[in-house]
Amino acid sequence: TKNRDMNTIYVYFIHIVFNTTWSVVFFGLHQILLALVVLIILIVLIIILIIRFKRVNFVSYYLMIPYLLWCFYALVLNFSLLILN
């Protein structure tokens, strides 16, 4: 279980990198398509974290759900901007 916990920590920090990368790519570089790809990867990582957090702590599990919904909302907005441009 200790190895699984360490893997969860690694996934968490990788997710933080993708979270930060999305803002830089979308707002800084104005690369809408690349930002969409980064956001999809971020959502996958959040889902993995939700699954892993459910085994450890239900509070952490439930707190990730609004974050996931927010990222899906950002995905819709990002995709809409891609279509409109």
CA 16 to each of CA 39, 49, 68: distance values in angstroms, whole numbers, following the listed order: 12, 11, 13
Residue ranges of the chain with per-residue pLDDT less than 50: none
Please tell me the predicted confidence (pLDDT) of residue 1.
64
47 CB neighbour count, 10 Å cutoff = 13
Contact 43, 64 (CB under 8 A): no
Structure tokens at 66: 């609004």
Rg of the chain taking only CA atoms, in angstroms: 14
Distance CA(34)–CA(85), nearest Å, equals 14
Please tell me the predicted confidence (pLDDT) of residue 10.
94
